[in-house]
């Protein structure tokens, strides 16, 4: 690609950003779609977020992704925010508009698109969420929106899980989310089978040997496990789910599709399934992995 006076720039703001895989996604899309657009990471030190957003707009940047620790902190510096992102309380994509950026959350639509592609349904499911942080809260909102029958939020701190459950129930207008101390998983209905979403950073590289729950009895209750971590490509959570006879998927497709959706918002170009599959292959190559640990072919 030739960079010239017409080249548009998008990027990623966060701290740190050196590990990011997002340039692989967006620069591959630009290359294949012949869009005159480049994507670069920008490390933003603490205390400089407002200046970074204003500076990006002043420099005519077309759009930005936002990663930790700024997904919630960036909201006060936006001109507008998409209703879904406002409900979730986190923004990971900024789209240039007249007078400032509009914030979107493409993480949850990306997760949903990945789950659909993997044949993982939500409607009518009983779902376990491990964790009660910002990601778990966003997942719970998505599950409620897509028709889950019941959502059980398991967390070491019960108070945090209760807060998430109450928020979800308030928005849903019905009682479908419940909180449970992590150590009480033995109280789950005997013989029950759940979709489980691992929404913590436990098991993330370099601590790949860690898992939130060791007991194999827990995994016998899981028919499908979704770990939002994408590095390693197969976590111990996934291994335990599969060892107990369930299906297991990692977060690499979520990473792919959150980026694809952001790119579509910036450019107005629709990314087809064949191109998305090509970008997915580039991601795996960049990470030095073959097929990811799930039964089919997680952050920025």
Mean pLDDT value of segment 230-243: 96
Q: Who's near 130: CB < 8 A, 6+ residues apart? A: 136, 154, 155, 182, 196, 197, 198, 199, 200, 212, 213
Residue-range definition of the domain harbouring residue 37: 8-105+253-287
In a domain, 3, yes or no: no
Mean pLDDT value of segment 80-88: 95
pLDDT at 289: 80
Question: Residue 6 and residue 168: Cα distance in Å, rounded?
Answer: 45
**Residue 128 maps to which CATH number?**
3.40.50.720
Is 242 assigned a catalytic role?
Answer: no
User: Using one digit for the tens of pLDDT, what is the confidence trace for 105-164?
Assistant: 999 999 999 999 999 999 999 999 999 998 999 999 999 999 999 999 999 999 999 999
In a domain, 294, yes or no: no
User: Using one digit for the tens of pLDDT, what is the confidence trace for 2-40?
Assistant: 899 999 999 999 999 999 999 999 999 999 999 999 999
pTM of the predicted model as reported, rounded to 2 decimal places: 0.92
pLDDT at 300: 60
Residues 249, 294: contact at Cβ < 8 Å?
yes
In a domain, 295, yes or no: no
- In a shared domain, residues 246 and 141: yes
At 224, list the tokens: 């499908």
pLDDT at 201: 93
**Phi and psi for 163 in degrees, rounded to 5?**
-60, -45
User: Using one digit for the tens of pLDDT, what is the confidence trace for 97-119?
Assistant: 999 999 999 999 999 999 999 99
Question: Residue 88 and residue 168: Cα distance in Å, rounded?
Answer: 10
Q: How far apart are the first and last CA of the chain?
A: 23
- In a shared domain, residues 186 and 243: yes
- In a shared domain, residues 156 and 94: no
> How many whole angstroms from its chain centre is CA 146?
16
What's the structural domain count of the chain? 2
User: Using one digit for the tens of pLDDT, what is the confidence trace for 48-75?
Assistant: 999 999 999 999 999 999 999 999 999 9
Q: Cα torsion for 130, 43, 71, 194, to the nearest 10°?
A: -20
- In a shared domain, residues 165 and 63: no
In a domain, 170, yes or no: yes
Does the pLDDT of residue 290 top 70, yes or no? no
Question: Residue 248 and residue 141: Cα distance in Å, rounded?
Answer: 22
pLDDT at 40: 98
């Amino acid at each position: 690609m030739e960079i010239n006076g017409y080249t548009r720039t998008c990027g990623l703001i966060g701290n740190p950003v050196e590990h990011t895989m997002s340039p692989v996604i967006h620069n591959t899309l630009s290359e294949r779609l012949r869009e005159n657009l480049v994507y670069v990471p920008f490390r933003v030190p603490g205390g400089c977020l407002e200046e970074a957003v204003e500076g990006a707009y002043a420099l005519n940047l077309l759009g930005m992704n936002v990663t930790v620790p700024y997904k919630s902190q960036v909201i006060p510096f936006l001109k507008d925010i998409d209703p879904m992102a406002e409900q979730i309380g986190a923004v990971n994509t900024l789209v240039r508009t007249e007078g400032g950026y509009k914030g979107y959350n493409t993480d949850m639509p990306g997760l949903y698109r990945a789950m659909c592609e993997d044949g993982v349904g939500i409607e009518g499911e009983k779902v376990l969420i491990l964790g009660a942080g910002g990601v778990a809260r966003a997942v719970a909102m998505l599950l409620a929106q897509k028709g889950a029958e019941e959502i059980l939020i398991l967390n070491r701190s019960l108070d945090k899980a209760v807060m998430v459950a109450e928020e979800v129930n308030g928005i849903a207008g019905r009682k479908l989310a419940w909180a449970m101390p992590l150590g009480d998983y033995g109280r789950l209905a005997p013989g029950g089978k759940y979709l489980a979403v691992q929404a913590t950073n436990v098991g993330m590289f370099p601590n790949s040997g860690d898992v939130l729950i060791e007991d194999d009895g827990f995994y016998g209750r899981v028919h499908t496990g979704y770990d939002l971590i994408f590095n390693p490509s197969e976590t111990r959570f996934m291994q335990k789910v599969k060892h107990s006879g369930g299906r297991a998927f990692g977060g690499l497709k979520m990473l792919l599709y959150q980026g694809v959706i952001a790119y579509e918002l910036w450019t107005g170009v629709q990314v087809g399934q064949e191109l998305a599959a090509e970008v997915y292959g580039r991601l795996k190559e960049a990470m030095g992995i073959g097929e990811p640990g799930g039964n089919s072919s997680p952050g920025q």
